Chain A
Amino acid sequence: MNRNAKLPETEEGTILFNTDPIVIRHHYEIDYIHSYAQDSPFFAGLAKKKLLGSKCEACGHIYATPRGHCMECGAATRWFELPQRGRVHTFTTCHFGSEAFLKETPFTLILVEFDGVDTLFMSRLIGVEPDEARIGMPVRARFVRNCKFRPTDVYFVPE
Chain B
Amino acid sequence: MRPVYMISGGITKFAKAHPDKDFRLMVKEAFDYAMDDVPGLSRDLIDGSVCSYFSDHFTRQLKAGAMVQDYLGLCPMPSRRIEGGGATGGLCLQAAWEAVASGRMEVCIAFGFETMSRVNTWKGNEFIAHASDTNFDYPVGGFYTGYYAMMVHRHMHEFGTTVEQMARVAIKNHRNALFNPYAQSPAGLSIADVRSSPMVSTPLTILDCCQMSDGAAVAILASEAAAERLCNRPVRITGVGCGTDAMRMADRPHGRVILLPHESEEDYRDLKYPGVHSFRGGRTAAKLAYRMAGITNPVEELDFVELHDAYTSSEIQTYEDLGLCRYGKGGLFVDQGCPFMPDIDYGSDAPARGERCLPVNPSGGLLACGHPVGATGLMQAVFAFWQLQDTVGKHMGNETLRVRGAKRGLIHSHAGTGTYITVTILERA
Complex interface: chain A residues within 8 A of B248 (CB):
65, 122
CB of A71 within 8 A of CB of B251, answer yes
- Of all A-B residue pairs in the complex, the 9 with the closest CB atoms, nearest first, are A92-B149, A98-B126, A120-B250, A99-B122, A90-B154, A97-B143, A90-B150, A92-B201, A99-B123
CA distance A119 to B137 in the complex (A): 14
| A50 contacts the other chain (CB 8 A) | no
CB of B139 within 8 A of CB of A152, answer yes
Number of A residues, CB within 8 Å of B? 46
| A8 contacts the other chain (CB 8 A) | no
Within 8 A of B (CB), among A104-125: 104, 107, 109-111, 118-124
Q: A98-B122, A124-B141 are in contact. Are A93 and B202 (CB under 8 A)?
A: yes
Interface 0/1 of B173-212, CB less than 8 Å to A: 0000000000000000000000000111111100000000
CB distance from A122 to the nearest CB of B (A): 5
CB distance from B417 to the nearest CB of A (A): 11
CB of B249 within 8 A of CB of A26, answer no
**B129, B149, B153: most-surrounded residue (chain A CB, <10 A):** B153
CB distance from B298 to the nearest CB of A (A): 28
CB of A23 within 8 A of CB of B150, answer no
| A130 contacts the other chain (CB 8 A) | yes
Interface 0/1 of B19-31, CB less than 8 Å to A: 1100000000000
Q: A94-B141, A97-B122 are in contact. Are A64 and B150 (CB under 8 A)?
A: no
- On A, residues with C-beta under 8 Å from B are 18, 21, 23, 26, 28, 36, 39, 61, 63-65, 67, 71-72, 89-102, 104, 107, 109-111, 118-124, 130-131, 135, 150-152
CB of B140 within 8 A of CB of A120, answer no
A interface majority secondary structure: mixed
Q: A102-B122, A124-B140 are in contact. Are A135 and B198 (CB under 8 A)?
A: no
- Pick 10 A–B contacts, CB within 8 A, sort by A: A36-B135, A39-B136, A64-B250, A90-B151, A90-B157, A94-B201, A109-B140, A119-B253, A151-B137, A152-B140
Q: A104-B141, A109-B141, A151-B140 are in contact. Are A95 and B200 (CB under 8 A)?
A: yes
CB of A119 within 8 A of CB of B202, answer no
Complex interface: chain A residues within 8 A of B141 (CB):
94, 97-98, 101, 104, 107, 109, 124
CA distance A46 to B153 in the complex (A): 29
CB distance from B418 to the nearest CB of A (A): 14
CB of A120 within 8 A of CB of B201, answer no
| B246 contacts the other chain (CB 8 A) | yes
Q: A94-B201, A120-B276, A121-B250 are in contact. Are A101 and B153 (CB under 8 A)?
A: no
**B126, B143, B145, B246: most-surrounded residue (chain A CB, <10 A):** B143
CA distance A48 to B142 in the complex (A): 25
Complex interface: chain B residues within 8 A of A110 (CB):
150
- Extra contacts, 16 of them, besides A26-B60, A65-B251 (Cβ < 8 A), are A28-B60, A65-B250, A71-B251, A89-B154, A91-B153, A92-B203, A94-B143, A96-B143, A99-B120, A104-B141, A109-B141, A119-B251, A119-B253, A120-B276, A124-B141, A151-B136
Minimal Cβ-Cβ distance residue in A for B144: A98
Complex interface: chain B residues within 8 A of A67 (CB):
251
| B407 contacts the other chain (CB 8 A) | no
CB distance from B196 to the nearest CB of A (A): 14
Complex interface: chain A residues within 8 A of B139 (CB):
150-152
CB of A111 within 8 A of CB of B249, answer yes
| B254 contacts the other chain (CB 8 A) | yes
CB distance from A32 to the nearest CB of B (A): 10
Minimal Cβ-Cβ distance residue in B for A96: B200
CA distance A10 to B126 in the complex (A): 33
Complex interface: chain A residues within 8 A of B150 (CB):
90-92, 109-111
CA distance A131 to B135 in the complex (A): 27
CB distance from B344 to the nearest CB of A (A): 31
CA distance A91 to B145 in the complex (A): 12
| B252 contacts the other chain (CB 8 A) | yes
| B162 contacts the other chain (CB 8 A) | no
Within 8 A of A (CB), among B236-267: 246, 248-254
| B146 contacts the other chain (CB 8 A) | yes
Minimal Cβ-Cβ distance residue in B for A63: B251
- Partner of B142 from the list A26, A72, A98 (CB cut-off 8 Å) is A98
